[in-house]
Each structure stands twice: as structure tokens, then as C-alpha cells.
Amino acid sequence: MSVGGKGLVLETLRQASSQDAAILKPAEQQLQLWETEPGFYSTLVQIFSDHSVEVTVRWLAVLYFKNGVDRYWRKTAPKAISEEEKTSIRHGLLLNLGEPVPQVATQLAVLIGKIARVDCPREWGDLLPALFQAVRSTDQLVQHRTLLTLHHVVKQLASKRLAADRRTFQELTGQMYTFLVELWQNQTEAFLGQGSCPEAAIPSLERSHLALKVLRKLTVHGFKKPEESQEAMLFLHSVFERIRVMLTFRKQHLNNDHMRDIAEKYIVLLTKVLRDMLDDFPFSYLRFIKPSLELTTYYMFTAAGDGLVFERFTVQCLNLIKAILLSPEYKPCKVIEDTKNPQTLEAFRIKAEFFTESVLAEICHKLVSHYFLLTAEDLESWESDPEGFCAEVEGGESWKYSLRPCTETLFVSLFHEYRSFLVPVLVNLVRSSQCPVDPRDFMAILQKDAVYCAAGLAAFELFDDVDFDQWFTSTLVEELRIQDSNYRVIRRRVIWLVGQWTGVKFSPEHRPTLYQAVIHLLAAEEDLVVRLGAASTLRLALDDFEFDPEQFMPFLPTIFGLLFELLKEVKECDTKMQVLHVMSFMIEVVGAGIRPHAAPLAQYLPGLWNASIDHNLLRCAILTTLVHMVTGLMRESEGLHEFLISIIRVSTDVREPCHVYLVEDGLLLWQTTLENTANPHPALLGLYDNMIPLIQMSSENLRLCLQITNAYTLLCPEQFLAKYGEQVVKTMASLLTDLKSEGTVLVMRTVEMVLRVLPGPGADLLRPLLPPVMMKVAEADCYPILMSMYLSLLARLVLYSQDAFTWTLNQTITSENRSPEDLLERVVWVWSDKLPLVSPEERRKLCALGLAHLCGSGWPPVMKVWPAAVSAVVEVVYDVTLEDSTQDKLVVSGSGNVGSPEPLELETEHVCRRQRLAEGDPVHTTSLRDFLGNQMKRMKDTVDLATITTLAQDLDHNCRVLLQEVTPA
């Protein structure tokens, strides 16, 4: 069905640009229906090409066209645009290179670029020639729009990564590079020559900027080896001179905002050309290493840059220096003579010649004395928005765009590369700044702050050269006590500095002094920025390898209370998260020691949870804090169940949008709550309604979900399995069809837990899962750990419920279409063969108990493989019997240590339940040696003596001796 003409589409677009939802929605639906209609996109071209149509409607037409290109332009797309219509569209697009509206022109350029990525040069061979012709136009508007379009076309073509596409782009580069370099030079000369009339220079400046954007992509992506292209090398050489010229040009036009903005973008783009070349072709960049270092250090670290540089240019220059320093291609082997690449050696030589001791000292002094100083903007932010001032992005790539992270990473990089030169410089700076300064001398305070910042950043490099303990006790502690308002800058920096050195070189005997200082700095009358800094340092001290909880306990009540007050006082979500993480970690490291002090936080968190409905990251922090709090409170956490259950329900409900962010932390809190609960109740049990959908998702949280299921099975087996047992079994049966071995083992452990806590009813409940288990054993084609689980389940069936074992055998026979005798014989043979591979030892004994029980049954199919089965059991008897004794080492009497906590595991209520269950397990209550003897006696009652004698002839001597010892006369 064809579209009903331009007028109808135009009117629908007008309705789609309406602010009235009643008009807008039907129009959008109609446009969506037309997306696959022949002629629709040609009509859109006609509409946005008509300059008499309203700008908003034309702009909307371009957007719909652009979205359509993404979906329907490729030949392989469903309901793709026909080739005839594409030809017409491509012709129409090239008629719009004089678009007067900037917003529409930008969208058109992007649109043409998207089509060019698919069609150029094969289906749209006349695109680039048409653009080259248009860019020569005397009409400045056409020239500008053509360069804009060319920029987007080249950007799209350069992004293609297949080898054939890259070769094509390199061929195109060869055809257009000379022309574009000349165009760029001409436009640059044009705007530089308009000194007397700045406004007249703007069009030429904009066109030169666009031409430079195109050249950046061509230079970086259009040459296989740029160093072999004389034009590319000449262009790169000219970039350095253009940077110098443009810095002067910008200074001359500081009062013209538009001109200054374009000039700054232009300068930054020039430096990006250099950085891109360095990143993509480090060896091609060899000849530019020295000019780059000379240029950047001249403007960044000498007085020549004063009044010329600006922040974004500074960031680019400092990052260029750092990239040269850290480029792996420029680093020789530790033994320089082992370096085989001469270009690497050449780069190393250039760097070594440039970074002399005097140059490095000058750079270090400039970084510390100029770039590390807090600026007026920083101090204003400190005053007006202290929480925003403290918000630091840890990690990430902020150094690419922000000045302070950029200077700090360069400083650290220089120290890594030239430690021997820079350590004496920094040590001298530190020593000269150790004395307290006059609080009224604010510049001296800022200088000291900068030096302390450097000492913290280079802490690892100064390990052997600075006695931090002596510095801390003699100077830093005293500076923390100076209460002048100006000195808050130093108090904040000193406590940060201590945090940086805590994991480097800070003696444990000085920790109490640090904790006392933290208490002083967390006080309510202290500056908020200083308080937040103290909290961050405390977190580092708690996380240190040498942290001693006993040493910290005397300070815990006061510090925890002060942190709680700080948490209530701060307003921003990120800041609350920061403080909450400190408190959470503190609760984690002190464990049960938090019990007397947790009540106020427990009362505060429900309100914070309700207030953070739109801040899922803060809610994650609350969940993590509660996990540590419940772990520390242990059984006392039952008093928090009402709140805990409510937030666990929200966090793990798949119908709640927030569950995507909260589910993992919510499940961990759920598990921790169950493990520390002694008395189950209906609200806690009803929470499991959320679990079935989570298990069905079979996600990365499956392990946690099954661990929670096991915890419920141990906590309240009768109530839990009566209410949810059938759902759980049905869900696990569906899961087993597509789980890998690791996931199947997790499910089997849950199945085994049900059998252990309720042997009889559990076996009946689990019947749908049992025939596949026996079938897998008969197939004998699975990993040892999985076979161990399957054999364990069959062993428990044999020991707990022979009726369930027989039923499982018959059900498997029905599905496998084989006789019961054949299947049982096969299962017992596999059982005997795989028993030595079962681990751990407890599980191997369990499987041996089950196999011994079958050996004593006297069933004919078992008798066929009886010698192999008994031999396997006897081997396990030897494994579990103490040396020079007949005692089974796995049997415990009274309250033994089976099921005891693992290393670093707390003795929670769950662990106690697990221990009680293990103490009653056949593995720990039954001697395998005695059990085997009883089974042999049982077999004598059902099998004639001649058969037994014949079977015994196939046993080795040791096996016969053991059987004679254990079998009653």
C-alpha cells in the first residue's frame, strides 16, 4: 500500500510535533505504520527539502528518516527500502547541501554519513566527487554544509574495521588527502588574515575547524604506515606550528566569546590529532616525540604559557606527556641490551635525553607549586557545596577530562619512570614544609597542602626515604590540633595523607593515636569536608592488613556514634553512601562487638530506605550494611525481622523494577537473616513466594537461591516443604533440562538436603527427580563430582527408603525400555566402578554404605557383579579405618566436631543446625566395617552357601580376610 501523498504525510508530521498528547499519539502511530510503506522515505526527503515548511516539521522529518535508515536501508533488512527508491533518495540528499538551518543541517550530515557507511563507494560512487565539487563553491553556506557532511561521511567510513573496508578507506584517503590539506591551509590563512575584522574571520575559522576534523580521521585511519606518506608527515609537522599560532589567536580574541570558543575547540582538536597518532602509530610518531615534549613543557611548565593556555588544552598536553611516558612501545627490557626493536631503543633514548634531572625537577616543582594548589573555584565549592567538593570519582577515566586527576596521574607516572631523580626533589619539599605555618598566611597553607598532596600520591615511592612514623608523631598530629578556620585545609589534607600512608608504612603502635585524631576530626563542630575526609581515612585504616580489632574496640562506641551523626547530617545520596560504606565495613571487621551500639543505626535505616526510593545505589549500600549488621548481631537480629523482611521482599520481587539493581544484595541479606534465625515464623516463611520466579530465571544468582532454599529446609523442614515442596521440585525438574554440570551439582545438593532432614517424606516428595538420576548413573557419562552427587542420592534412597529406590528403578525401566534386572545390574556395576572416584571421603563412605546394603540384599542382578561391588566397599573400609585399629575414623560419639564452621565461618544458628544434622547422619553414626559385616550376615540368610563360596573365589586375598573378620560366625 503506497503512502497517500506528500500532503498527508506533512500534515501527520505537523500533528506529531504537537504538544497535545491526544493529537501527537495517533500521529506517531500512523508514522510508525508508514515506516515500511514504499515511497514513505522519498516523501520525507521532499518535505525536509522544502524550506517553506516549518523548521520543527522539517527537523522531525529528518529524524524519522534517520531512524528508518538504521532499520530498513540495508539490503538484508526485513521490508528493506527498494533500490529504485534509494537511488532517488541519494540524489535528493545531495540537493540539500545548502541547508540554512544549523540543526537540520547537522541531522542531514549525520544521515548522509549513515547511508555512506553502507553504500559508499560501491552503490554511491558519486557522493565524494559531488562533495568535492560542492566544497569549491563560492557560496560560504554551501561550503560549510559540505564540509560538515564530509566530516560525518569520513567519520562513518573510518569506523569500519573489516580489512577490505579499511583498504577501501585508505584508497579514498589517497584520493582526497592532498585536496583537504590544501583546503585546510587556505581556510586557516583566510581567518588568520582577517585581523582587522574579527567577525569576518568566523566563517573561515569554522570551515578550517571542520576540515581539520576530516583530516584527523584521514591521517589516523587512512594510512597503513603514516611515516611513508610525506603529506601526512608534513601535516603533522604543521600541527605544532598551528598550535602556537592558535594560542596567540585565542589570546587576541578573548573578548569575543564565539571566536574564543571556536579557537579553543580548534586548539584541543590539534592536540587530539597528535594524541591519536601516538596511540595508533607509536613508531610512526617517533620523530614527533621530542617536538611534542618541547611544545607541552614550554607551555605547561614555563612562564611562556601564562595567559595563553586554558584548562582543556592543559589537560590534553599533560595527557600527551603521560602517554609518551607510559607507551609500552617506548619501554625497553629491564636489561636494555635484550631489547630487539631499534625503534624502542630510539624512543627510550629521546625520552632519556629530554627528561634530564633539571627538567624533571622543574616539572615536579611546577606540578606541586602550581597545579596541585587549590583554586579559587575549589575553595568556593568547599564553602558552597562541601559534599560536592568531596565527591571524587574513584578509578574511571576522569584524568582524560579533568585537570586535577590529570595532573595527579602525570605526577605518579613521572615518579614511576624517574624515581631516582624525583625522590630527592620531593623529600626536600616535604622537609621544607614540615613546620607549621601561620594560619593567617593562606598562600603558605595552600603550598603546604600541595606538598602534602604530592607526598601522599608518591607514598609507595617514598617508602625508604621518609620516616612517616616520626613525621606523624612529631608534626602531623600537632597540625591536626590547630583549630584555626584557615587551617581546616591542612587538617583535611593531613588526615588524607595518613590514609595514603596507612597501607604503606604506618606502625601499628600509632594506630590508637590515629583513632583518637579521627574522633577529634569527626566532631560535629568540625568542618564537613574534614569530617568526610576523616571517615575515608578511617575506612583505609580498617581495611589495612595490620588492623587489630582489639586495639580498635575502645574507640568503637565514640567513632560509631560520630559516624552515625555524620550520616544523618549529610544530604546527598553519594555522600550518604560513602559514610554508610565506612560504617558497614566497620561493622564487618568488629563483628559481634557492634551489638551494644547498633540500635540507633537500626532505627535510622528504615527511614533512609523509604527516602531513597529513587536511589538504588544507596539502597544497595543499605542492604550491604544490614548484611554486616545481621552478621554481627547474630540471633539478636531477630528483633529487626519486620524491617528486614519488608526490604528483602522489595529487593527480590521480580515484578519490582528496582530488583535488577538490588536482587544480589537482597538475596545475600535474605541468606544472612535465615542463617541467624533460631525461631521461624509465618512472615519469614511467606517470603519464599519471591524465590520460585528467581530460581526459574536460572541466573547468576542460582547458587544463592539454592543456598537460601537449603537454609529454609534446615530451619523449618515440615512447614517449608509442606507449603513449597511441590513447587520447588517442579521448578528444579525444569531447571535440570538445561543446566550445566556446575548448576546440576547445586540442585542435587538441595535435593540431598531434603532427603537428609526428612528421609521418608522427602523421598516421596522428590520422586519426580529420581528416575533421571538413576538413568544418569546407568549412562555413566558425567563428571566425577556430578557422579558423586548422583551416587550419594541413590545411597540415601537405599538406606532411607527401599520402597522409593524400587519405585525409582521401575520408573526408569519404563522410560528406558529395559528389564529391571539389566538396569539394576548396570547401576551396581557403575556404582562399583565409580566409587573410588567419589570425593570427599565422607561422601565416598556414604556411597559405600549404600552399595554394601545392596550387596547384602541377595538380589540376583546384584549377585552378578557382587565381587566387584564388595571389593569397592572393602577398599573404602580400609580408607576410613584408623591405622592399627578397627575403629571407623568418621564415626563420632557424643557432640563431635562434624559439620563445624569452615575457616573464617561464624558459628551461626544455621551452622549449629547443620552440625546437629551431620551428627545424626549415617556417615558419622555407622561404622562401615560393622555395617558391611551385618550386610554379609543378611546375605547368608537369603543366598545359599555354594553361591557365596563361588562368588568369594573372585575376591582377592585381603578382601576375603576382611569379610571373614567382619562377618559374624
Q: What is the mean pLDDT of residues 59-85?
A: 89
* The predicted structure's pLDDT at residue 898: 63
- Confidence at 392, pLDDT banded by 50, 70, 90: low
Least confident of 71-75, 234-238, 334-338, 701-705: 334-338
For the beta carbon of residue 586, count every other beta carbon within 10 angstroms. Answer: 24
Contacts (Cβ under 8 Å, ≥6 apart) of 65: 41, 44, 45, 48, 111
Q: What is the mean pLDDT of residues 70-99?
A: 90
**1: pLDDT strictly greater than 50:** no
User: Which amino acid, residue 866?
Assistant: W
* Nearest CA-CA partner of 520 in 497, 548, 494: 494
Q: What is the mean pLDDT of residues 288-310?
A: 93
**24: pLDDT strictly greater than 70:** yes
**106: pLDDT strictly greater than 70:** yes
The string of pLDDT tens digits covering residues 904-938 is: 567 889 999 999 999 899 999 999 999 999 988 88
DSSP 329: G
* The predicted structure's pLDDT at residue 899: 55
Q: Most confidently modeled of 2-6, 219-223, 696-700?
A: 219-223
The string of pLDDT tens digits covering residues 462-488 is: 988 989 999 999 999 999 999 899 999
* Chain centre to alpha carbon of residue 774: 41
Q: How far is residue 863's CA from residue 952's CA, in Å, rounded to a whole number?
A: 11
- Confidence at 944, pLDDT banded by 50, 70, 90: confident
- Confidence at 963, pLDDT banded by 50, 70, 90: confident
The string of pLDDT tens digits covering residues 717-743 is: 999 999 999 999 999 998 888 888 888
pTM of the model: 0.82
Please, what's the largest Cα pairwise distance for the chain?
123
Q: How far is residue 531's CA from residue 279's CA, in Å, rounded to a whole number?
A: 42
* The predicted structure's pLDDT at residue 968: 67
Please give the residue that has the higher pLDDT: either 894 or 26. Answer: 26
* The predicted structure's pLDDT at residue 77: 86
* The predicted structure's pLDDT at residue 895: 54
Q: What is the mean pLDDT of residues 748-759?
A: 94
Q: What is the mean pLDDT of residues 332-344?
A: 85
Q: What is the mean pLDDT of residues 778-790?
A: 90
* Nearest CA-CA partner of 374 in 470, 451, 287: 451
* The predicted structure's pLDDT at residue 3: 45
Instruction: Mark out the alpha helices in 281-385 (DSSP H runs).
Output: 289-301, 311-326, 342-354, 357-366, 376-384
Q: How far is residue 266's CA from residue 263's CA, in Å, rounded to a whole number?
A: 5
Q: How far is residue 761's CA from residue 747's CA, in Å, rounded to a whole number?
A: 19
Cell of 711: 537454609
Q: How far is residue 306's CA from residue 347's CA, in Å, rounded to a whole number?
A: 30
* Cβ-contact 224, 278 below 8 angstroms: no
* Cβ-contact 891, 927 below 8 angstroms: yes
DSSP 905: -
* The predicted structure's pLDDT at residue 32: 86
- Residues 129/132/134/136 CA torsion (nearest 10 deg): -140
Cell of 468: 612517616
* Cβ-contact 534, 559 below 8 angstroms: no
Q: How far is residue 38's CA from residue 46's CA, in Å, rounded to a whole number?
A: 14
For the beta carbon of residue 358, count every other beta carbon within 10 angstroms. Answer: 9
Least confident of 614-623, 775-784, 945-954: 945-954
DSSP 555: G
* The predicted structure's pLDDT at residue 951: 82
Local structure of 775: helix, strand or coil: helix
Q: How far is residue 42's CA from residue 98's CA, in Å, rounded to a whole number?
A: 19
Please give the residue that has the higher pLDDT: either 76 or 300. Answer: 300
* Nearest CA-CA partner of 13 in 1, 2, 32: 32
Q: How far is residue 204's CA from residue 189's CA, in Å, rounded to a whole number?
A: 9
* The predicted structure's pLDDT at residue 897: 59
The string of pLDDT tens digits covering residues 171-223 is: 999 989 999 999 999 999 988 887 667 677 888 999 999 999 999 999 999 99
Q: Most confidently modeled of 163-167, 171-175, 750-754, 855-859?
A: 750-754
- Distances from the Cα of 588 to the Cαs of 558, 561, 707, 824, in angstroms? 17, 16, 21, 53
* The predicted structure's pLDDT at residue 902: 56
Cell of 433: 614544609
Cell of 299: 607551555
**404: pLDDT strictly greater than 70:** yes
The string of pLDDT tens digits covering residues 11-21 is: 999 998 888 88
Least confident of 316-320, 836-840, 878-882, 955-959: 955-959
- Distances from the Cα of 279 to the Cαs of 276, 287, 390, 748, in angstroms? 5, 14, 33, 52
Q: How far is residue 691's CA from residue 654's CA, in Å, rounded to a whole number?
A: 9
Cell of 509: 603502635
**885: pLDDT strictly greater than 70:** yes
Averaged confidence pLDDT in the chain: 90
The string of pLDDT tens digits covering residues 112-152 is: 999 999 998 888 988 989 998 998 888 989 999 999 999 99
User: Which amino acid, residue 522?
Assistant: L
- Confidence at 78, pLDDT banded by 50, 70, 90: confident
**647: pLDDT strictly greater than 80:** yes
Cell of 844: 565416598
Q: What is the mean pLDDT of residues 788-809?
A: 92
* The predicted structure's pLDDT at residue 830: 94
- Distances from the Cα of 500 to the Cαs of 410, 493, 536, in angstroms? 18, 10, 10
* Nearest CA-CA partner of 148 in 209, 201, 205: 209
User: Which amino acid, residue 307?
Assistant: G
